[in-house]
Amino acid sequence: QVQLQQSGSGLVKPSQTLSLTCAISGDSVASNSAAWNWIRQSPSRGLEWLGRTYYRSKWYNEYAVSVKSRITSNPDTSKNQVSLQLNSVTPEDTAVYYCARAKGAGGYYGMDVWGQGTTVTVSS
């Protein structure tokens, strides 16, 4: 059974960096048939896809334009996890953050496993 366990800071000061980790069990971060996505949810923005990391003979990262200049998603094969960093945060980045697995070519089979979510508040 695949499980995603999220960890990271729930309170971040404005202009600082949000850091989250998604630990994977039951699958491999380097799977050739999975992609690891980051999604956030807030009352004002709804569900917003932020980016994904996947391995297809080499590593790929794809990010939403809205956060592209501030986001990094990195795999860690030694710990079988993926991490998210979002720089220069503002109160607009306050949201529940999720990691989620998507299976199949291009994620055709949808995001079938989700982390438990991390509530991140940006406030001084």
Applying CB under 8 A, does 117 fall inside the site for other proteins?
yes
Looking at the Cβ atoms of 65 and 124, the one nearer to other proteins is 65
Options 32, 43, 108, 124; binder of other proteins; rule CB under 8 A? 108
Buried (b) or exposed (e) across 85-117, using 16+ Cβ within 10 A?
ebeebeeebbbebbbbbbbeeebeeebebbbee
Smallest distance, other proteins to C-beta of residue 32, A: 18
CA distance 41 to 107: 20
Contact call for residue 55 and other proteins (CB under 8 A): no
Q: Does 11 bind other proteins (CB under 8 A)?
A: no
